[in-house]
């Protein structure tokens, strides 16, 4: 169990202290951090776990199970992101969270956060902002569901690039911590469709795929694709 140990490193030494809400919590109950191996769960749906978790290192996916028992990925998280943001207003987790690679996460007690809000209006608005961002992120996922496979892949790559750019990596080299299958379970596409479209975008010269690293050679064209102008080349690739 990841969170059984003693409280780990102080917030002052944390690489993400600048964007972590835990720094506002110099309370009696210290935050706890944990290392996770690839494939380990941070929490599971139904856990009566009044916590949110800041990702300090690594990569995490959150997912739910669709009606037919299929894994449906809701978000990919990077350092600085919060797992369990949807737990505000609830007593148990509604999603599962699993480490995509060896990771570190820091656990923040929900009620501490909520209580701190009354004393700290800044924290309050930060939480509101985070939840509000989640609403809009989900809304844009709904938008994505109505795009073609090609559009989804293009948009996914651009989003990944943008996210990584925000973390200092500025070149158009996108590193994917997740498998093609994960991408499919996120975009609602079969693995084969993901693979085929990546291959296609490469043959069009828009991207260069090397394992889990993808170089965006022509972001301009990718954006056009994402906006609906289908790539002309040859017959529709379909799946």
Q: Which chain residues interact with a second copy by CB under 8 A?
A: 64, 66-68, 70, 72, 74, 86, 88-90, 94-95, 117-118, 121, 124-125, 128-129, 131-136, 138-139, 141-143, 145-147, 151, 188, 226-228
Nearer to DNA, 29 or 239 (CB): 239
In this complex, which beta carbon is closest to DNA, that of residue 77 or of residue 149?
149
* Residue with tokens 């889990």, as numbered in its chain: 212
Q: Name 104's bridge partners.
A: 35, 57
Question: Given the complex with DNA, which of 37 and 165 has the nearer CB atom?
Answer: 37
| Residue 190 binding: pick among a second copy, DNA, none (C-beta 5-8 Å cut-off by kind) | DNA
Number of neighbours of residue 129 by Cβ within 10 angstroms: 10
Considering only residues 205 to 234 of the shown chain, the ones binding DNA according to CB under 7 A are 209, 211-212
Q: Which does 212 bind (CB under 5 to 8 A by kind): DNA, a second copy, none?
A: DNA
Q: Residue 146, by phi and psi: left (phi above 0), alpha (psi -120 to 50) or beta?
A: alpha
Residue 114 engages DNA in binding (rule: CB under 7 A): no
Here the tokens at position 231 are 């790539």
Residues across the chain: 239
Tokens 């795929």: give the residue. 209
Quick check: helix, strand or coil at residue 137? helix
Compute the distance between CA of residue 95 and CA of residue 110 in angstroms, rounded to an integer.
16
Cβ distance to DNA smaller for residue 164 or 195:
195
Residues that bind DNA (rule: CB under 7 A) add up to a total of 24
Q: Which of 84, 79, 80 is nearest to 57 (CA)?
A: 79
- Tell me which of 19, 117, 141, 190 binds DNA, using CB under 7 A: 190
- Which residues make Cβ contacts (< 8 Å) with residue 120, sequence separation at least 6? 24
Nearer to a second copy, 174 or 226 (CB): 226
Residues that bind DNA (CB under 7 A): 148-150, 179-181, 188-196, 198-199, 209, 211-212, 236-239
């Amino acid at each position: 169990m990841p969170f059984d140990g003693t409280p780990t490193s102080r917030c002052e030494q944390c690489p993400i202290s600048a964007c972590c809400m835990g720094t506002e919590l110099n309370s009696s109950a210290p935050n706890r951090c944990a290392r996770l191996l690839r494939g380990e769960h941070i929490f599971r749906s139904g856990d009566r776990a009044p916590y949110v978790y800041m990702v300090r290192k690594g990569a995490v996916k959150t997912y739910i199970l669709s009606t037919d028992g299929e894994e449906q990925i809701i978000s990919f998280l990077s350092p600085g992101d919060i797992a369990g943001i949807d737990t505000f207003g609830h007593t148990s987790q509604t999603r599962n969270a699993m480490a995509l690679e060896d990771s570190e996460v820091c656990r923040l007690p929900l009620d501490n956060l909520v209580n701190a809000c009354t004393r700290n209006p800044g924290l309050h608005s930060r939480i509101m902002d985070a939840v509000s961002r989640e609403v809009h992120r989900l809304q844009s996922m709904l938008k994505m569901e109505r795009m073609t496979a090609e559009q989804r892949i293009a948009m996914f790559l651009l989003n990944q690039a943008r996210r990584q750019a925000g973390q200092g990596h500025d070149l158009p080299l996108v590193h994917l911590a997740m498998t093609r299958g994960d991408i499919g379970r996120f975009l609602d596409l079969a693995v084969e469709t993901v693979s085929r479209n990546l291959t296609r975008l490469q043959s069009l010269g828009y991207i260069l795929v090397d394992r889990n690293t993808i170089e965006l050679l022509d972001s301009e064209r990718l954006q056009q694709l994402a906006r609906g102008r289908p790539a002309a080349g040859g017959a529709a690739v379909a799946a």
